Amino acid sequence: MEFGESDDKISLDAIAERAKKYHPKPKITYKMIQEYVEKKYGFKVHTAYIAEVKRSLGLTMYDASNAVEELNQPRKHPPKEKVEAIKDALKYFEVI
C-alpha cells in the first residue's frame, strides 16, 4: 500500500481527516454504572454486584490491583431487581 496524491495511492489528507473524526468510546467505570442506577432506580448497587453481572454475561473483566487469590467469603448473588438495573445501565452505556 502506497501513500501519496496520485490515483493509485491513498491520500494522506484522507487518512488525517478520518483520524480527526474517530472518537473511541470512553471507558465505562463502575462508578458511572452506580450513578446511573441510583439516579434512575433510586437504590445503590455494590461494585461486587456489577462484577457478578458482568461475569454472568461473559463480559471482559480487568485485573484488579486489590484482587485476592482466594475469597474470604463466597460471592453474593445480587437480587433480581438489581441485576435488571445493572443490565439496563450496561445497555445504556452500550456495553451490551
Q: What is the pTM of this model?
A: 0.70
The residue whose grid cell reads 450513578 is: 35
Q: Give the per-residue pLDDT at 6.
A: 65
Helix H segments across 22-96?
A: 30-41, 47-57, 80-92
CA distances from 12 to 3, 16, 19, 21, 24 (A): 6, 6, 11, 15, 21
Residue 38 or residue 11, greater confidence: 38
CB-CB contact of 89 with 36 (8 Å): yes
Q: Tens of pLDDT along 65-89?
A: 777 777 777 877 899 999 999 999 9
